[in-house]
Amino acid sequence: MTPVPRGVAPDLASAPEVVLARGGLLGQPMWLLASTTSTNDEAKRGARQGAPHGATWVTEQQTAGRGRQGRAWLSPRAESLLFSVLVREAPLPARLPQIALVAGLAVRDAVGRSLPGGEVKIKWPNDVTVHGKKIAGVLVEAITSGQRVEAVVVGVGINVHTRAFSEEIAERATSIALASAPGADPPERVQILADALAALDADLHLVVARGLGIVRARLEAADALRGRRVRSDADGEGVAAGIDEEGRLLVRRSDGVVERWMAGEVHLVG
Ligand code: BTN
């Protein structure tokens, strides 16, 4: 059995063994850390040092966790599931948003298993939401050489045990503990991690090779924005009409024209 560092809580401590027993390509080797700056930093460092495809870093605490668009990702120690996976594939740069979407879908599925009956959705580009509140986020970062993507780091943060969020985000954030049915067993982070890695493993390679085709129906079923009025500072306003094969958000403007939004922050209107 891998030695468990002090400071790793029991519901995460058996992660290396549980994930190994599932037999997938992702999650081994696994480093379980009491604290680090960011698991994405660990994965990038590991990549430079020759870590293999699927290597995964999991931590109880990040001192410099980051989210999309340069935002900080803050999570109280031992309350979240924070991990990064090294993907040793060399996708075209245009595939990166698609990898983020398939990672979001895997996280959605894993969170959904912990919340039977819960409305777990994907809010484009890569938030996972429950009843409109964010429960998880995905940060995909490329390891590049010139214009070429040499490998990819998929970083995931899932709010698991948190019961009180800061005033600033309390209206927009939730956790598995808060969204669970009254009297439900406390969530086990090790199971959520094993489920997320297995779900990502099932689709990742095909998405890297061929794009979103194999997951489009599932993405459509999980799309939190479809049919909703959305606004983006960069692109304006319209009604979300799905996600295309490139991972772009389709938005129908009031004049009927369908635009394809590439990235950025989308807000629900009304
Ligand atoms: C977002 O919603 O903006 C993405 C958040 C991603 C957070 C995770 S936590 C594990 C990994 N390490 C980081 O520093 N960020 C990602």
Check if 65 has its Cβ closer than 6 Å to any atom of ligand 1. Answer: yes
Residue 1 confidence (pLDDT): 60
Tokens of 120: 């777990």
Q: How far is the CA of 135 from the centre of ligand 1 (A)?
A: 12
Nearest residue by C-alpha to atom 9 in ligand 1: 157
Q: Which atom of ligand 1 lies nearest, measured to the CA of 127?
A: 2
- Alpha-carbon gap, residue 169 to 42, rounded angstroms: 27
- Alpha-carbon gap, residue 18 to 39, rounded angstroms: 20
**From 31, 41, 60, 73, mutation site for ligand 1 pocket: most ligand atoms within 8 A of C-beta:** 73
Smallest Cα–Cα separation from 150: which of 213, 208, 73, 69?
Answer: 208
**From 66, 154, 160, 189, mutation site for ligand 1 pocket: most ligand atoms within 8 A of C-beta:** 66
156 φ/ψ angles, rounded to the nearest 5 degrees: -130, 135
Tokens of 214: 């194999």
Q: Report percent pLDDT > 90 for the chain.
A: 90
**pTM for the whole structure:** 0.96
Check if 91 has its Cβ closer than 6 Å to any atom of ligand 1. Answer: no
Query: In this structure, are residues 160 and 176 in contact, taking their beta carbons and an 8 Å threshold?
Result: yes
Tokens of 228: 């909703």
Check if 174 has its Cβ closer than 6 Å to any atom of ligand 1. Answer: no
Nearest residue by C-alpha to atom 11 in ligand 1: 155
- Alpha-carbon gap, residue 136 to 138, rounded angstroms: 7
Residue 5 confidence (pLDDT): 81
Query: In this structure, are residues 84 and 156 in contact, taking their beta carbons and an 8 Å threshold?
Result: yes
CA angle 42, 8, 38 (to 5 degrees): 25
- DSSP E strand stretches across the chain: 30-33, 56-59, 80-87, 120-123, 127-130, 133-145, 148-159, 229-232, 236-243, 249-252, 258-261, 267-268
Which domains are assigned to the chain?
10-222 (3.30.930.10), 229-268 (2.30.30.100)
In the Cβ-directed half-sphere of 64, how many Cα atoms lie within 13 Å? 6
Tell whether the model's pLDDT for residue 102 goes beyond 80.
Answer: yes
Check if 82 has its Cβ closer than 6 Å to any atom of ligand 1. Answer: yes
Q: What is the mean pLDDT of the chain?
A: 95
Q: What is the pLDDT of residues 132-168, one digit of tens each?
A: 999 999 999 999 999 999 999 999 999 999 999 999 9
Check if 62 has its Cβ closer than 6 Å to any atom of ligand 1. Answer: yes
Omega of the bond prior to 52 within 30 degrees of 0, cis? Answer: no
Tell whether the model's pLDDT for residue 2 goes beyond 70.
Answer: no
Q: How far is the CA of 223 from the centre of ligand 1 (A)?
A: 21
Check if 73 has its Cβ closer than 6 Å to any atom of ligand 1. Answer: yes
- Can you tell me the mean pLDDT for 182-194? 94
Check if 193 has its Cβ closer than 6 Å to any atom of ligand 1. Answer: no
Tell whether the model's pLDDT for residue 93 goes beyond 70.
Answer: yes
CA angle 33, 39, 42 (to 5 degrees): 85
SS3 content of the chain, % helix, strand, coil (to 5): 30, 30, 40
Q: What is the pLDDT of residues 69-91, one digit of tens each?
A: 899 999 999 999 999 999 999 99
